[in-house]
Amino acid sequence: MNRPNRYLRFSLPRRIEHWLQTASFTLLAITGLPQRYMDSQISQSLITWLGGIETVRIIHRISAVLLMLLVVYHLGAAIYHWVVDRGRLTMLPSLVDLRAGWQTLRHNLGMIKEKPKQGFYTFEEKAEYWGLVWGTIIMILTGFFLWNPITAARFLPGEWIPAAKAAHGGEALLAVLFILTWHFYHVLIRHYNPSMFTGYLSRKDMEKFHPLAIEQEASKVSLPKNHPAYQRRRRVFFIAYGILATVMLGIIYLFVAAEQTAQSPEIIPDLQGIEIFSPLTPTPFPEAASPLAVYQGETWDEPIGEMHASRCGDCHNIQNAQSNLDLTSYQGALRGGDSGPAIIPGASGVSLSIVWQTGHDHPGVWSPLEIAVIRAWIDNNAPEN
């Protein structure tokens, strides 16, 4: 039997999906890690180069939405391949992969001479794929907590928000290190694999790395696309997946729009007849005698709210809500504005009330001691009274 000189490994839609995934992952890493390690000079320089913390947050969120849309597409493509094309679920781990892993270990230790034969995807590639699936689930779930902390705190304890922050940052660092070491090594260094660029792998490489896939390809029987049974499966798929995709897109919409801005009519009370005080000049706040006294006891009512009002109240009040942000009330600070919540209880490192102070051109700059007071109050879960 004549065998082709090359084998199709990734179709054009799969390659486009991969490169969109690469773009999303890269942007998420570039804009996420600097927020995770705000104290680093490299992070601050990168944030400045990208246009400031608000621009970085916007890029990060757009990339996150792209990631979620790719999840919707990938799930649909996998179901289509299985249900309509009757393709093998080649990414599912099996006992063959366990044996291949054990034999590879023995081969690397010099205990056996030959490497194990593997199928269309090796056990290393399957491990990487399911690591990506698990990491994506973790990042989306924890990302919801960080994107919508007020909504999350309505249903779950407030301690989950700093826990989600830690998990989000830790998983991001793990993913970046994994891609830079494991993935790049296997596809670019250990053996250059051009299939994600060209779509094809040579017969020599297929026989070397995926010999079982060649045997399975020879025994594969599929219906022509114009066959009535194939067309019937196709119609059922589009109806069922259309419903599923609509539900998933609705969840993504709720993910993005779960929390309202300060201009929402559902949040802003009727202001007619309410007299609002806004100081014409910043009111100096007496510095505490020692920063050691800031770790317990501070609340928004005394003295955190007064600090925000005196430094920030001119621009960010309920009447003159610059960037849709009111910092003269506790709920306004938690609710935040265009850039997100100013205060995230338990997470001073990503609370914009602290992050904004790193900008040298930001008005209403606090003293280092005041920043220490507010940072400690936030890390103490930001009590109101």
Domains of the chain by start residue, with CATH:
6-257 (1.20.950.20), 291-379 (no CATH)
Q: How far apart are CA 331 and CA 336, in angstroms?
A: 8
For residue 264, what pLDDT is reported?
A: 38
> pLDDT digit string (tens) for 137-171?
999 999 998 888 888 888 888 778 888 989 999 99
- Quickly state the pLDDT bin for 364 (edges 50, 70, 90): low
Please give the torsion angle defined by the CA atoms of residues 66, 71, 74 and 78, in that order, rounded to the nearest 10 degrees: -170
Tell me how far the alpha carbon of residue 264 is from its chain's centroid: 26
State which amino acid sits at residue 153. A
For residue 11, what pLDDT is reported?
A: 92
- Asked whether the predicted pLDDT for residue 360 surpasses 60, the reply is no
Would you say 166 and 192 are in contact if contact means Cβ atoms under 8 Å apart? no
Q: How far apart are CA 115 and CA 381, in angstroms?
A: 55
Angle between helices 12-36 and 53-83 (to 10 degrees): 150
Q: How far apart are CA 34 and CA 57, in angstroms?
A: 11
Residue 122 or residue 1, greater confidence: 122
Q: How far apart are CA 203 and CA 205, in angstroms?
A: 5
Q: Which two tokens stand for residue 80?
A: 């289509």
Per DSSP (E only), the strands in the chain are 6-8, 200-202
Question: Which residue bears the tokens 């990042």?
Answer: 139
Which of 6, 2, 1 has the alpha carbon at shortest distance from 205? 6
Percent of the chain with pLDDT over 90: 35
* Residue 202, strand partner residues: 6
What phi and psi, each to the nearest 5 degrees, are found at residue 147? -80, -35
Q: How far apart are CA 61 and CA 128, in angstroms?
A: 25
Average pLDDT, the chain: 82
Would you say 136 and 171 are in contact if contact means Cβ atoms under 8 Å apart? no
Buried (b) or exposed (e) across 28-38, using 16+ Cβ within 10 A? bbbbbbbbbeb
Tell me how far the alpha carbon of residue 336 is from its chain's centroid: 21
Q: Which two tokens stand for residue 119?
A: 């199928």
Which of 48, 193, 40 has the alpha carbon at shortest distance from 128? 193
Which of 167, 159, 164, 165 has the alpha carbon at shortest distance from 380? 159
- Asked whether the predicted pLDDT for residue 71 surpasses 90, the reply is yes
Q: What is the mean pLDDT of residues 226-245?
A: 93
For residue 361, what pLDDT is reported?
A: 56
- Asked whether the predicted pLDDT for residue 65 surpasses 90, the reply is yes
For residue 270, what pLDDT is reported?
A: 47
Tell me how far the alpha carbon of residue 211 is from its chain's centroid: 37
- Quickly state the pLDDT bin for 44 (edges 50, 70, 90): confident
